[in-house]
Chain A
């Protein structure tokens, strides 16, 4: 880290060390953005301040305190650091605990460990920079204040998600970030196109209002799975949501030899079932195949939102969930996770190859990168997966904010309208280039004691690919995972540089738009520059490129803080045994094998990245190979890619429309056609009898009795409208019927 930054931190560090031992700091971090939301929504118009002031200040507070907490945690440098439990917990929902009747008590509390501290920094940093960027980007919008309020509630929900210490709480904040995402995607709800200036981008298929709904519903499909997972865990642990207690129960064998069993169909261990069900939540939120379909359309929201929510933080919540619940996943579940992640990584990358919408390229890139994180966690490269979350947050937020800067300048999202913007927007170009180099993983591979050198993505992607390769070498039947990983890396380098070339180099394809393009104001370029610095340096914490931040000569602070949690941790081992347990799985040979895998992976990935870069350069910079010629040679493939592998059509045809048909069938045919028809039939039968009896009644029984009782009861002339005779007859009929039934009852009773 740069020295000014460090000095600023060290000034706070003594306070920070103590601060992270008090939950009130976390309370302030959590509630400040919420306060920003409340103030803006309810008092925004009455305040003499611009709409961004209060929420931005609130996030600044959260950011500063998060750094304090982080500093304190980093100072501890203890992989098992955790603050939770007594003193950090409060009763929240108490439905009692009755012997033999089950219990339901939820304590809500904070959980502060290394993972939380790192996530705090990611979320508040990106959020703060996005707030700043939005001051410029959203300038002049008619709901300016509300935009910042929504950003505030998002930040609050996201912070709650990473601070909470139990499954129930995480589900709650999980849904709340979904709400924030819904509100922000649909921010320009009245518009058919996402562009505030009204020039409809060619490549857009979905309006903000449709996109927001699609996002909410698609992720909710995953949430059902997650909720079922939560309930399963709660049931089998004997009524616990708390992470620590859940892991303890798993370690103590609460799930052993329990099977989820449908006779003749399946029989899977409950732990696998619970793990996969919980992972469904991550599939939805982190846009993994097949629930990824919402994320590209979510780009209909304002671009800062795409950067904050749909690139850097919220979509990483699924990755965070997997990381947080890691001890819960058994090997089967992890394998599912790895395959979903790996397939998503390469699948989404293919779609990005042909996309012409700047933000859609980035959206598919995000999906693909999230796939990498999930893949990394799935193969057990725990720290690598989390590390990629950390680096990706910075360079992907940078890419999105950069694209926002471009869109702001040319009023279009289509790369067909761009080209040659390098001259007009030097800062944007340079920062986006840095992010592209980072995401593509270009760098100098290491050898011997030299660990290699590159920007942040170089290290994190490398760590994941090393982990995948190691896993694939150990389990030869899963070699496909390595193919996914390395194949995706090739495509990533290609499509990212294609994007850079199409946007910033060559001749302007729309001279008019080019004329009016200009570099964005400082309030927008400042976040770009800051993120660019982070995109460069955030990877150096892995191997300790900057000596001062090295834990030992091998690893930087990140690997020192984030280590794969082990289940034995939760059955009460003392720290010495714990260290032994951690070392156990790592025999001399294994460490050697891992090392070798990482070295191969590094060389392979760098060669692959440069290959992708080379292809893109030849096609889009030097124009040696014509993309059109390639497209026509592989026309069916090209069509499939343009149609995003027909996933939207499949979902529409196989799920959405049948569902709608089902609703209509149930209402028109069953509800109206059967249930109500029976009721009406019974009604008219009754009415017929009643009319007959009524006629009989009116003629035979004295008319004076007629209606007297009803008239009194109704108290007024209003009653004249009601067919009193018929009504009274109903009553008589029904009571008569009832009485006869009673008589039958009593007789049968007497006989028995």
Chain B
């Protein structure tokens, strides 16, 4: 086993970003092209390292053990009890695996970037390292640092390498995010100040805060109204990232303007941060408040599912369609968590992975056609299946997983979340069953917008503008094939993933049972 595995995975990309800065910039056309190619190759190599390391993470991770693994602890700012704490459990491990795979794929999806190449890939690697770091961090201060470090390159990647309305989208992204970050910061400070009476007792250690929460006499049970405010604040901070309705309007704009690979990262990984934060910080540290809030969580999930699906159907731009479908699909996670039972919570986390894979595929596929046609209007195509059969095949795979076809990943997440919601015990059971039934409407709406889109883009007579359109290149197949294999493999046999997260989720469920129970 490799020592400091998590640190290596986090800091190799960040270090790689610095190395990129040192690469010489070309002064004439030829040397500039050489330099750009070199930057891309270095990025590919650097981002391959976490991918390889994640193999060791996978093999070294013991799914039967509860608690954190691969722990690393080192003092960082001792005077404030701030430590460098890293560790993973069954919730974060699959997310990290997905991060390394999707990031690696996204490098190749960025191959066509030729403006400010060095800056782009530098930001990209910084983003990758920060994402892995966020999933590993067990000290809230460290978590916050990685969290901000992740948002900062994202802002520039959209604002500089984006489409025509990139400034608007970037500012919108930034404002939403900033509002969220401020709330997170406040919540974090509240935890810190109340975690002990003297500075020496105070801590940012997430695990210790969780343990404090389990103590019915603990400080987080003293003033329920105050802690409810803190809970809602942190919830909103993470909810912006999910995103929930009505805090979702940054997402379609950000997606539309972002370059393909950044849309991929945004949808596949960044949107997962919200739910991850809730599972790691928000709910386990304030379990009583979580119990009181579960009804609203279910309601928000249900509204997001249905509202997102309806809005997706109204779209004429492929990327916006996928963006709204993300809003809808992330709603299942909230519904599943609100259910708080084995099926629901496992379904929610599985849905994170399923949506990560599915939406990554969808954005890559939109990128493929955008590179050729230079537009994304659904009605502007027609009959492409005759000219691009491989592309049509991959698209149907991605569409069918997104519309929840059994045997593909999307179905498992959705079905488990639904079943969990339906199984909810206690007085919440009745409303949750209504939420589940109401959300089931989205099953048809989702199928409708995906199939309708597929029909308009691929079926019918070939649009004469695209007589000469070429099918996917080897590079594009290379980016999509791994995701496609995952979607199919874990859709048919989800047990390996479920096994990985099962024990940790059971622990999570016990933690959030609340002191009252």
Contact = CB atoms under 8 A, between A and B. Distances in A.
Contact of B174 (A98, A101, A727): A727
* Among all A-B residue pairs, the 3 with the closest Cβ atoms: A102-B341, A667-B314, A104-B343
B160 interface: yes
Interface stretch (B102-110, B256-264, B284-292, B437-445): B437-445
B226 A745 contact: yes
Given A172-B406, A172-B407, A734-B179, A714 B156 contact: yes
A202 to B, nearest CB: 20
Contacts of A745: 186, 190, 226, 229
Interface in B305-354: 307, 310-311, 313-315, 340-344, 346-347
B498 interface: yes
Max chain B Cβ within 10 angstroms of own Cβ: one of A175, A189, A714 = A189
Nearest to A189: B459
B467 interface: no
Nearest to B171: A683
A745 B187 CA distance: 11
Interface string B432-473: 010011001101110110011001001111100000000000
Max chain B Cβ within 10 angstroms of own Cβ: one of A93, A95, A216, A742 = A95
Contact of A95 (B119, B340, B406, B498): B498
B509 A98 contact: yes
Contacts of B175: 683, 686, 730
A668 B314 contact: yes
Interface of B: 21, 116, 119, 122, 152, 156, 159-160, 167, 170-172, 174-176, 178-179, 182-183, 185-186, 189-190, 223, 226, 229, 245-246, 248-250, 307, 310-311, 313-315, 340-344, 346-347, 383, 385-386, 400, 405-407, 411-412, 415-416, 418-420, 422-423, 425, 433, 436-437, 440-441, 443-445, 447-448, 451-452, 455, 458-462, 493-495, 498-499, 502-503, 505-506, 509
Contacts, number: 208
Contact of B342 (A102, A667, A722): A102
A207 B493 CA distance: 36
11 contacts: A93-B498, A94-B495, A96-B503, A104-B416, A104-B420, A172-B407, A220-B443, A663-B310, A666-B314, A671-B249, A718-B116
Contact of B506 (A101, A210, A228, A231): A101
Interface in A214-240: 216-217, 220-221, 223-224, 227-228, 231-232, 234-235, 239
B406 A175 contact: yes
A190 B385 contact: yes
Contacts of A94: 495, 498-499, 502
Interface in A199-213: 207, 209-210, 213
A742 B189 contact: yes
Contacts of B494: 93
Interface in A365-390: none
Nearest to B225: A752
Contact of B440 (A173, A179, A227, A735): A227
B315 A667 contact: yes
SS class, residues of chain B in contact with chain A: helix
A541 B455 CA distance: 46
A663 B498 contact: no
A663 B313 contact: yes
Interface string A698-717: 00000000000000011110
A348 B411 CA distance: 34
A667 B509 contact: no
A676 B505 CA distance: 36
A721 B340 CA distance: 47
A515 B456 CA distance: 39
A571 interface: no
A664 interface: yes
Contacts of A190: 383, 385-386, 459-462
B122 A234 contact: no
A591 interface: no
A221 B442 CA distance: 10
Given A94-B498, A713-B152, A749-B226, A231 B443 contact: no
B50 to A, nearest CB: 22
Contact of B444 (A97, A224, A234, A663): A224
A679 interface: yes
Nearest to B503: A96
A131 to B, nearest CB: 23
Contact of A742 (B186, B445, B447): B186
Interface string A666-686: 111011000110010001001
A742 to B, nearest CB: 5
Contacts of A216: 447, 451
A98 B505 CA distance: 10
Given A192-B461, A235-B422, A727-B174, A721 B407 contact: no
A209 B458 CA distance: 10
A731 interface: yes
Interface in A175-209: 175-176, 179, 182, 186, 189-190, 192, 207, 209
Interface residues of A, number: 78
B426 to A, nearest CB: 10
B310 to A, nearest CB: 5
A737 interface: yes
A8 interface: no
Interface in A643-666: 659-660, 662-664, 666
Contact of A189 (B179, B342, B385): B385
B341 A716 contact: no
Contacts of B448: 217, 659
A622 interface: no
Contact of A734 (B178, B418, B422): B178
A43 to B, nearest CB: 14
A715 B122 contact: yes
A336 B281 CA distance: 50
B405 A102 contact: no
Contacts of B174: 727, 730
A745 B405 CA distance: 48
Given A95-B342, A217-B448, A220-B444, A666 B310 contact: yes
Nearest to A742: B186
Nearest to B509: A101
Given A217-B448, A718-B119, A235 B423 contact: yes
B436 to A, nearest CB: 7
A730 B178 contact: yes
A342 B245 CA distance: 45
Contact of B160 (A189, A663, A713, A721): A721
A92 interface: yes
Interface in A712-752: 713-716, 718-719, 721-722, 727, 730-731, 734-735, 737-738, 741-742, 745, 748-749, 752
A683 B342 contact: no
A171 interface: yes
A719 B425 CA distance: 53
A227 B418 contact: yes
Contact of B419 (A92, A104, A223): A104
A406 to B, nearest CB: 28
Given A213-B455, A234-B419, A749-B226, 13 more contacts: A93-B416, A97-B342, A98-B342, A102-B343, A102-B420, A104-B343, A189-B458, A217-B447, A220-B443, A231-B419, A676-B249, A715-B122, A718-B156
A217 B444 contact: yes
Contacts of A186: 459
Contacts of B445: 659, 663
A190 B460 CA distance: 4
A209 B420 contact: no
B311 A101 contact: no
Given A189-B385, A189-B460, A675 B223 contact: no
A96 B461 CA distance: 50
Contacts of B311: 663, 666-667, 671
A231 B185 contact: no
Contacts of B307: 666, 670
